[in-house]
Structure 1
Amino acid sequence: MIPDPPTLLLLSLLGGLLALDATSVGQFMLSRPLIAAGLAGMIAGNPEGGIVCGVLMEAIHLAVLPVGAARTPEAGPASVAAAGAFAGAPASSQVALLASVVFMLGWGWLGGRSMEWMRRINVRIAVPPPGPVDPERIERLHLGAMVLDFARGAVVTLAGLLVLGTLLETLGWIPFREPWTRPALALSAAAALASSLRLFGRRRLPLFAAGAAAGAVLLWLRA
């Protein structure tokens, strides 16, 4: 659902900050889907929904490693958009949750392409011309590139909130039905986690298995 204007503004600003965190500033891992969606849920008034959305998106995004010149989806703004729009959906709507997770994947890909576009522009505006080096000019150029990255992240987040919010308000277009969505989400998360096992290495697989077992026991006890 489309949040109210003040919430839209706050979520857009959060998306801009998380776009900076991904590469330009800090890299504090706040732009990971779990953290980004949790923060978005808190701002939108539904922290539980944000965390649920973030856990699924984090599982799917876990194997993505933004290393070097690799083309990767941008998780932060897309996760904010998905969780922020999902926050207004009914808590029991598994269809809305599935739609939000699928949307995050597509919107993250678009965000990644916008990062490529921004970097091409950065080559033009952030590299000083030949000649004597002026430290103050270099600082201004790099600050300008950071402002551009923030604005890009905010726009990507705002557009995602409007698009997904509109789609969630008309869920009749989605071919899935509630009984199908829970197994689809569970299988997607399980497949994504399985694909990320190679990141841990064989030596760490026992630790991964122990953590998975502890989580399963916890869920069983709560049930």
Structure 2
Amino acid sequence: MHEEFLILALIGGLISLDVTVLGQWMVSRPLVSGVIIGTLLGDTWAGFKVGVIIELVWVNVIPVGVAIPLDVSVVSILASSWFLIANRVSMAALVLGITFAIPAGMLFKMIDVEMRRRNVFMIHHVDTWVKNGKENRIPLLIYVGIILTFLRSFVFLYGMLYVGWLIIAYLIGVLPTSLLQGLRFASEVLPLLGIVIALHGIHFKASEAIGAYVQTVKGKK
């Protein structure tokens, strides 16, 4: 089990680099990362299902500029892993996996914000190097940033995978049947909820665009 967690954390750490640090090939999107984790754990369809749900809910959330949204790749990786490792037969495990993955993603965001805040101090070193004609050191600082980002994600995912697995596996064994049935029903409703949220986001953006166009036309008149 520990080897499985180690491999998942390593892959998750590499996937997390795609968010903003390296690549940005959209591998970190829940739809893709969920499939990757599902394939590694022997159930591509289950990973796809988790990824689709999370992708639909957060499809309009992207890291642009200084905005630091919830890292949905971490949410997808944890939810898919917990579901497939804890009890892939019970759909209640899917709902519990997503439920616990969301606050875990929020915690990861707090760590990310703190890490970026500390990165500001690196700018002073860059200014000093430029003044002293040592620009060749700047690429080294970039590589260090990539490594630290990977290590942050790796350590966080490894710890959370173990803790979450223990909690979800325990809950599946002790929760009453009626509650488990309710969670199974929720697993069927979640995709519909995701579609509604995605459509709402599209409608909201369309309304903003139309409103801006109308205001522009009025201004010209």
Q: Does the pair score TM above 0.5?
A: yes
Farther-moved stretch of structure 1 (9-18 vs 55-64): 55-64
User: What is the CA-CA distance between 1:196 and the residue it aligns to?
Assistant: 2.4
Letter paired with 2:37: A
Please give the alpha-carbon distance, in whole angstroms, between the structure 2 residues aligned to 1:192 and 1:43. Answer: 25
User: What is the CA-CA distance between 1:132 and the residue it aligns to?
Assistant: 2.8
Residue aligning to 1:29: 26
Residue aligning to 2:47: 50
Post-superposition Cα deviations, 1:110-139, rounded to whole Å, max 9, x if no partner, equal 121111111122222365142234232101
| 2:122 is aligned with 1:125 | yes
**Which segments of 5 or more consecutive residues in structure 1 lack a partner in the other structure?**
204-223
Residue aligning to 2:146: 146
Please give the alpha-carbon distance, in whole angstroms, between the structure 1 residues aligned to 2:155 and 2:168. Answer: 20
Answer whether contact 2:92 2:181 (CA < 8 A) is retained.
no
Question: Normalising by the residue count of structure 2, what TM-score does the alignment of the two structures yield?
Answer: 0.80
Please give the alpha-carbon distance, in whole angstroms, between the structure 1 residues aligned to 2:188 and 2:169. Answer: 24
Please give the alpha-carbon distance, in whole angstroms, between the structure 1 residues aligned to 2:25 and 2:96. Answer: 28
User: What is the CA-CA distance between 1:37 and the residue it aligns to?
Assistant: 1.6
Residue aligning to 1:185: 187
Q: Secondary structure at the match of 1:45?
A: coil
May I ask how many residue pairs the two structures share in their alignment?
200
Residue aligning to 2:17: 20
**Which segments of 5 or more consecutive residues in structure 2 lack a partner in the other structure?**
208-221
Letter paired with 1:162: Y
Identity level (%): 28
Q: Secondary structure at the match of 1:123?
A: helix
Answer whether contact 2:31 2:55 (CA < 8 A) is retained.
yes
Answer whether contact 2:60 2:198 (CA < 8 A) is retained.
yes
| 2:74 is aligned with 1:80 | no
The 3 A distance-change label for structure 1 pair 99 and 173 is same
Answer whether contact 1:81 1:158 (CA < 8 A) is retained.
no
Post-superposition Cα deviations, 1:172-198, rounded to whole Å, max 9, x if no partner, equal 465772321243234443333223223
Letter paired with 2:2: P
**Bigger share in helix:** 2
Aligned counterpart in structure 2 of residue 113 of structure 1, from 110, 113, 120: 110
Answer whether contact 2:56 2:194 (CA < 8 A) is retained.
yes
Letter paired with 1:10: I
The 3 A distance-change label for structure 1 pair 90 and 169 is closer
Please give the alpha-carbon distance, in whole angstroms, between the structure 2 residues aligned to 1:54 and 1:195. Answer: 15
- C-alpha RMSD over aligned residues: 2.3
Post-superposition Cα deviations, 1:71-91, rounded to whole Å, max 9, x if no partner, equal 311122332222122212333
